[in-house]
Each structure stands twice: as structure tokens, then as C-alpha cells.
């Protein structure tokens, strides 16, 4: 019997996946526990329309992320910090500070966990920082750390 899973089931399949299940397993376990529905014509049509709407939503999100990436790449962000001799910074610049300054200076809100830094910045200078906005969309931010 073909069924459409309503949620992930370990060892069986993922949500919205169509699987072949034994008749007894489907009728006695999957259907009563509301884990699956029969794969009849109307349920298949509902699943197809749901997948189409999800694909359209993902496409819009990716387009929006691409536009934001263009805006970010046009920006040169400057962060003034206190520094000592040899261009060393008191403390360090973290993803949180980069996100806050980006929002203050250019009204672009980015989550700090999307900013990719191998390690916090501890010296003055210019850096190219990657920001992963969406799966496959990475913006390169020009960052200039200047002393006060």
C-alpha cells in the first residue's frame, strides 16, 4: 500500500515522502497514530501543490538573498576601535559587532551566525568577510577596522 508520510519516521522515511508500506503496518500503526495518509489521487494532488508552493517560496527567498548580497557587496563598512601600538586592538572584533555596525551604518540586518569569521579580528586593517545569506548565496563585505 502506498502512503504519504506526515512526519519523519526513523528507519521508514522523511516527511512528505511516498513509501510502500505493508497493509497491516499502514492500517494498524501509521494511520491510527496520524503518521501517514493513503496515497490516493486527492492526497497526491495536495502533496504536489504543497511542494510547488514550497519551491516557489524558496525561489523568492533566494532572489531576496541575492538582492541583499548585491547591497552588501556595494558597502565598505568601517568600524572605529581603540588600538595600541603596532595596530593591535584592545579586545577583538566579533561577528556580533560586525552585525550591529552593519545595521547601524547601512540598515541591513544580518544574523551574527551568518557572518563567517575563522577567528575574531585583533588587528587594524582591511578585511573581506563572507556572509552566508542563503544556501548558495554568499556576500563578500569589505570591512575596514580603523583606530580612533
pLDDT of residue 97: 93
Q: Is 2-60 CATH 2.40.10.340?
A: no
The answer to whether the pTM exceeds 0.75 is no
What is the rounded CA–CA span in Å between residue 111 and residue 72? Answer: 13
What CATH class is the domain 65-147?
alpha beta
Alpha helices in the chain (DSSP H): 23-25, 41-73, 95-106
Q: What is the pLDDT of residues 42-84, one digit of tens each?
A: 999 999 999 999 999 999 999 999 999 999 999 999 999 988 8
CA 97 and chain centroid, separation: 20
Phi, psi of 133 (to 5 degrees): -85, -35
Q: What is the pLDDT of residues 4-30, one digit of tens each?
A: 999 999 999 999 999 999 999 999 999
Domain boundaries, the chain: 2-60, 65-147
* Contact status, residue 147 vs residue 83, Cβ threshold 8 Å: yes
Amino acid at each position: 500500500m502506498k502512503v504519504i508520510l506526515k512526519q519523519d519516521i526513523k528507519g521508514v522515511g522523511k516527511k512528505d515522502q511516498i513509501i510502500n508500506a505493508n497493509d497491516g503496518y499502514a492500517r494498524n500503526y501509521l494511520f491510527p497514530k496520524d503518521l501517514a495518509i493513503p496515497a490516493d489521487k486527492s492526497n497526491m494532488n495536495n502533496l504536489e501543490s504543497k511542494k510547488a508552493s514550497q519551491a516557489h517560496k524558496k525561489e523568492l527567498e533566494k532572489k531576496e538573498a541575492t538582492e541583499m548580497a548585491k547591497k552588501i557587496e556595494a558597502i565598505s563598512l568601517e568600524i572605529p576601535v581603540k588600538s595600541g601600538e603596532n595596530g593591535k586592538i584592545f579586545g577583538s572584533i566579533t561577528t556580533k559587532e560586525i552585525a550591529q555596525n552593519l545595521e547601524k551604518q547601512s540598515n541591513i540586518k544580518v544574523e551574527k551566525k551568518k557572518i563567517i569569521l575563522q577567528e575574531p579580528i585583533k588587528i587594524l586593517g582591511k578585511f573581506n568577510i563572507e556572509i552566508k545569506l542563503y544556501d548558495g548565496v554568499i556576500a563578500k563585505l569589505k570591512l575596514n577596522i580603523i583606530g580612533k
